Amino acid sequence: MIKPDKPANEALRLEALYRYRILDSERERSFDDLVAIAKAVCGTTMAAVTLIDVERQWFKSMQGIDATENLRSESMCGHAILQPQEIMVVEDALQDVRFHDNPVVTGDPHVRFYAGAPLISSDGLPLGTLCVFDARPQQLATDKAEALAALSRQVMVVMELRRFALDIQRHMLERNDYERLLSEYHDVLLAQNADLAEQSRTDALTGLPNRRALAAALDEAVIAVDGRDRQTCVALLDIDHFKHINDFQGHATGDRVLAELGALLRSHFAGGGLAARYGGEEFVALMPDADLRTAELQCEFLRVAVSNLPLGFPVTISIGVAQHQPGETSDQTLARADAALYRAKGAGRNRVEVAP
């Protein structure tokens, strides 16, 4: 058995991990849901969200076996974080010199197949993995690998939201402190987008590109460099019952919901694509080079993430998704996404509908 090395930036990595205050915390449904999706998408019997501590691997969520932690020296995830920009895939652990005599391979749970997507903090440090594994050797198809990577990013979105919620709770005893924290958070959002705001292409409240910027990006997204139609999906999303939030919670709270959703959309599409504020409580997401099924799945992840925002009251979204068709204009694609959104609202809201 080859024990995993420790990254050269191990001290910084551990410091980043401890900032999330998540080790040894209770199980949470938002993590369990993402693990269940990963297990189903990849077709394995086991999956987990793991975090790598000094000498142990701790499981925030585990499905398929009953365990809370094991030794870092015996963990496959300890190897996975050494190459944080890649998914580590072990098709048959018995044929891998690093793991053929590892206790988790030779004994329970008799791991043969493993795939781990590193969890990367906002400052680029690997904290652990979202991993799937099985007692049978197998391969990981490209689309499944991409879905696993997308899910690992959603795990980090939930961790960031969780950390922010803990910060808010810590200051809730004093109203002035709570308002100060929100003000500081808002100032950070504004500072991060100051350059774009100066060009009048950024929505000042959410920090997202505005409708003017979207128009140019939409045309670029549906037409490739050679002038041919590009496989691009467009999603139009709307906050459910937003008028009720403004009417009963106040416009300041409504603005906070928009700002939180804007931050979530930026994180969700940071790896590829673009999110923009379309107007009012409507937003548009562009997903270049994505087929309709991939786009639908990504929107489902987004819908779940919105329902877990730490706002103190429930917020949901409805989404309509359309794939750009050869010969149609970008406005026509957007119109079909709008029609799908209308069906999602008519079918009860808090759902994703796909344009035929």
Residues annotated as catalytic (active site), given as ranges: 281
pLDDT at position 328: 87
Per-residue pLDDT reduced to its tens digit, 62-119: 999 999 999 999 999 999 999 999 999 999 999 999 999 999 999 999 999 999 999 9
Task: Tell whether 211 and 125 lie within a shared domain.
Answer: no
Per-residue pLDDT reduced to its tens digit, 238-287: 999 999 999 999 999 999 999 999 999 999 888 778 899 998 999 999 99
Which stretches within 193-282 are classed as H helix? 194-198, 211-222, 242-249, 251-268
User: Is this prediction's pTM over 0.85?
Assistant: no
Collapsed DSSP state (helix, strand, coil) of residue 214: helix
Let me know if residue 161 belongs to a domain. no
**Alpha-carbon gap, residue 282 to 278, rounded angstroms:** 5
Task: Tell whether 255 and 345 lie within a shared domain.
Answer: yes
**Alpha-carbon gap, residue 269 to 77, rounded angstroms:** 25
Contacts of 178 (CB under 8 A, 6+ apart): 168, 171, 172
Please give the average per-residue pLDDT across 54-59, as a whole number: 96
CATH number reported for the structural domain that contains residue 139 in this entry:
3.30.450.40
pLDDT surpassing 70 at residue 178: no
**Alpha-carbon gap, residue 79 to 116, rounded angstroms:** 9
* Residue 248, token pair as written in the block: 């009963």
Q: Indicate the number of domains in the chain.
A: 2
Per-residue pLDDT reduced to its tens digit, 184-238: 877 776 765 555 444 567 788 888 888 888 887 887 777 655 566 678 999 999 9
Let me know if residue 179 belongs to a domain. no
Let me know if residue 171 belongs to a domain. no
Per-residue pLDDT reduced to its tens digit, 300-317: 999 999 999 999 999 999
- The domain in which residue 85 lies consists of 10-152
